[in-house]
Amino acid sequence: MRHLEQLPPWAAVVIALLVVTGASLTVLGGLGLVRLKSFYQRLHAPTLGYSYGTLLIVLASMLMFTLLEGRVVVHEVMIGIFIMATTPITLLMLGRAALRRDRDAKLGHDEAVPPRIPREDRPAEPRGQTGHGEGLEDAGLLPDAEREERERADQARD
């Protein structure tokens, strides 16, 4: 640890504050993961705690090695970008998967994922209101041809 003697006192204080604050945020994220009750509540604490805690620790590392080596050290940025991008995205995907699982369980679906129909067995036209599933008519993208014909017939009678 002799290289720390080369740091100016102001830099040592700033680096120490960044490391302590970053480590505290990371610990708070871990505590939130343990203490919060539901799965959905547990998603938020590590996302913010780990991301911002990592950011502050990476900034402290960059500052320390930049001052010690006399050149700008930025290779730690890759570590920070990786962690700050992957942690929220991973927890977002976990949240979506849990939400889908909970919705399927609530609706009483037997299978979580519908079976895949081979391309050659698929109908050429989209399934409508008489078929199973959501076709273009069910989604409201195509007009209901029968209803339009009835409306035209009613207008012709009047």
Below-50 pLDDT ranges, the chain: 136-142
36 and 45 in contact (C-beta within 8 Å)?
yes
Tally the C-alpha atoms within 13 A of residue 9's C-alpha that lie toward its C-beta. 0
Residue 137: its pLDDT value, please? 46
Alpha helices in 8-43 (DSSP H): 9-35, 39-42
- Please state the φ and ψ torsions of residue 74, each to the nearest 5 degrees: -125, 5
Q: Cα–chain-centroid distance for residue 43? A: 10
Residue 51: its pLDDT value, please? 83
Rounded to whole angstroms, how far apart are CA atoms 135 and 23? 52
Rg, the chain, Cα only = 29
The model's pLDDT over 99-121, given as tens digits with 9 standing for 90+, comes to 888 877 776 655 555 566 777 77
Rounded to whole angstroms, how far apart are CA atoms 93 and 86? 10
- Please state the φ and ψ torsions of residue 122, each to the nearest 5 degrees: -75, 145
Rounded to whole angstroms, how far apart are CA atoms 108 and 98? 15
In sequence order, which residues have a C-beta less than 8 Å from that of residue 106 and are 6 or more positions away? none
Residue 58: its pLDDT value, please? 92
Rounded to whole angstroms, how far apart are CA atoms 53 and 130? 55
Question: In 3D, which of 90, 63, 89 has the Cα closest to residue 8?
Answer: 63
Residue 128: its pLDDT value, please? 52
Q: Where do the structural domains in the chain lie, given as residue ranges?
A: 2-107
